[in-house]
Structure 1
């Protein structure tokens, strides 16, 4: 049993480590829907956020309180009223919002104070700081509807929040604000979280919500052909919003998506929508390559580029399993460091997922593409094709008329992409002298036309 655990744990931990390094000292704004707390998820969410903070991430937590306020109103026999997806906050609703905010703040601080043995928070000391970090103004009258004590964010005390984060504290914010004259306003968690993330230029905005994310075909039921879209480019998300009906309920597709789009347009590179129903959803979204919900990004995270010396470790880690099983010829660190300028890589969030090298033979007007490797995690997603096209482009720029590969396992992949089999005697003289006749690699050549 122990050996099986070790076998699974070690590669898992190694796969997580690059994300731990990347996110250290970054700032995450996490908006937790009040429904998550009402569903009893607070304890596990607090534990997961405490773990993330222990790995060097600065966290601002904004809680919602829709169901808690509605419950207070129901107990008082007062009907909840909404318009434009916003609660109309009269005097009774304002009192209920203040009571709910106070109670939730107490529950959240208590959850972060439980450093019990044999729990993920054992020995943890999480300082929670909350205060009047935002000023608000009234929503006012919209389309003839007076929203009374409902407000919107006027200003965020960025410096105050950053000072608290720099002291190692977790900053807790309620969807509640005050005007410069001391008047209280009820706000929405989504608007507060979006405004804070934008003001701080946070690295991530994460909504922990009732919905699992945005499906590839919004509005259609869950199916194998309609899974969650794990990465949604900003331009696609904006187009989607123009085609979706107005959002009045949190379960409407556009409800959280509109805030993710606003945050990304405001400078937050990544905004996430994840389900609180899945235990560990925040950990799965942040530390697993494909995540669990939907991430809206203002640019494609995958970067196709030429390698630098900083990529040597990542290239070695990527190609090592393929060298061990004989798919690739073994290359030393010294060799890769020497030739790193020949490599093209695809990098995603600081992790190398694909690579290949181009070795020119100018006298023969050809070049060898070597060490073409794609991580098993992303095979079948077109990364090999993208690297091949970049290598072809680099070869053309160098004035080469063809590229060739030597392979023992992937002949058909290259044949489908315009390569043809040739005899090893075709190889340039310099390469022929290094040909391993015992390995019996097949040689495939592709002529390069104009791009």
Structure 2
């Protein structure tokens, strides 16, 4: 039994080590919905946050309290009021929000204070600092509706939060703010988390939410044919927000997506939407390559980019070994220079470690993905999947229905990623004329 455990644990631990190194001393802002606490998930989430902090990550935790406030109002016989998905905070709702915030802060601090032996919190000693880090202002009157004590963030005490983080404490922020005159305002957890992440220039913003993420086709029903889109570029996220209806509840696809877009637009490198229903979703998203939810990324910050004429030499050096052993069809410099606009490259520290090209056949609504190559030094790190995903997105943006590849050595890699074999006669007529029957390449197609 121990031998089996070693064979599973050791490779796994080695696979997460690069992420442990990468995220040391980075700052993560975590938005925790009140629904997660109401669902009994707080204990495990706290344990995961303590583990992440133990790996030298600086954490700001912003909690929500939507269901807790609604429950307080129900107990007082007061009907909750909302407009455009935002709570109208009258004096009774303000009292309920203050009670809910105090109770939740107490529960969260108590959870971080547990150090029972034989539990993940043993010897954790997580110090939690909370305080008046937010200055608020009234939301005012919108569409003729007076939101009363509902507010929005006016200012974030960045210096105070950074001092607390430098002291190796976890910073806990409630969605509550005060005006310079001392008036209290009920705030949105999502807005607070986004503003704090943006002003801190955090490395990640992670929302633990009721939804599993954003699906590849957000307006369609969930199912195997409509999985979670694990990585969305900022440009595509903006397009999705134009297509999706205005959100009125957290279950709407655009509700968290628009906050992720705002964070990325203000300098947060990566924003995530994760399901709190999945135990360990924070750990799975941060330390496992494919993650579990949806990540929105500003592609300008990513090493994956469109190739330029200056990349031709690097592409040639990358593909030459694979041309020599017959994995790739030989391409000369002139061909690559001519087609450079069709290429994507992955660059690390000025060195090209991966490339792929897309050749469309618009009349047949398909395109060929060619020259998909990852350096032997970088294989196993997910660069191939990144290139494939970006190529697929480029094809979708062109209005194409599928992509195809020709391969002699890597058929199983493509089969695992949704491609299916077809007869060479399936190829577009123009591509069929160039097909090398002596090479006997397998033709594989992935339909969208």
Q: Tell me if both proteins adopt one fold, taking TM over 0.5 as the criterion.
A: yes
What root-mean-square deviation, in Å, do the aligned CA atoms of Structure 1 and Structure 2 show? 3.6
Inter-CA distance 172–77: structure 2 relative to 1 (3 Å threshold): same
Number of the residue aligned with 2:379: 375
For 1:64 and 1:11, the matched residues in 2 are separated by: 37
**Contact 1:373–1:384 (CA under 8 A) maintained in structure 2:** no
Number of the residue aligned with 1:65: 65
Q: Aligned pair 1:303/2:304, yes or no? A: yes
Matches of residues 416-427 of structure 1 in structure 2 within 5 Å? none
Inter-CA distance 236–118: structure 2 relative to 1 (3 Å threshold): same
**Contact 1:354–1:384 (CA under 8 A) maintained in structure 2:** no
**Contact 2:347–2:354 (CA under 8 A) maintained in structure 1:** no
For 1:52 and 1:412, the matched residues in 2 are separated by: 35
**If the length of structure 1 is used for normalisation, what is the TM-score?**
0.72
Inter-CA distance 378–92: structure 2 relative to 1 (3 Å threshold): same
Q: CA deviation at 1:302?
A: 4.5
Q: Which aligned segments of 4 or more residues in structure 1 are displaced greater than 3 angstroms?
A: 300-307, 344-348, 352-356, 369-387, 407-413, 415-422
For 1:112 and 1:370, the matched residues in 2 are separated by: 43
* 2:126 match: secondary structure: coil
Q: Aligned pair 1:224/2:228, yes or no? A: no
Q: CA deviation at 1:246?
A: 1.0
Q: Aligned pair 1:114/2:118, yes or no? A: no
Inter-CA distance 376–154: structure 2 relative to 1 (3 Å threshold): same
For 1:131 and 1:2, the matched residues in 2 are separated by: 47
* 2:135 match: secondary structure: strand
Give the gaps of 5 or more residues in structure 2. 312-317, 328-343, 356-372, 392-406, 414-423, 442-448
Number of the residue aligned with 2:338: none
For 2:279 and 2:386, the matched residues in 1 are separated by: 31
**If the length of structure 2 is used for normalisation, what is the TM-score?**
0.73
Matches of residues 90-129 of structure 1 in structure 2 within 5 Å? 90-129=90-129
Please say which structure displays the higher CA radius of gyration. Answer: 1
**Contact 1:374–1:383 (CA under 8 A) maintained in structure 2:** no
Q: CA deviation at 1:84?
A: 1.7
Q: CA deviation at 1:238?
A: 0.7
Number of the residue aligned with 2:367: none
Q: Aligned pair 1:205/2:205, yes or no? A: yes
For 1:299 and 1:370, the matched residues in 2 are separated by: 19
**Contact 1:60–1:172 (CA under 8 A) maintained in structure 2:** yes
Q: Aligned pair 1:5/2:9, yes or no? A: no
Number of the residue aligned with 2:280: 280
Q: CA deviation at 1:379?
A: 8.5
For 1:128 and 1:242, the matched residues in 2 are separated by: 39
**Contact 1:133–1:157 (CA under 8 A) maintained in structure 2:** yes
How many residue pairs are counted as aligned between the two chains?
Answer: 360
* 1:245 match: secondary structure: coil
Number of the residue aligned with 2:144: 144
Number of the residue aligned with 1:402: none
* 2:4 match: secondary structure: helix
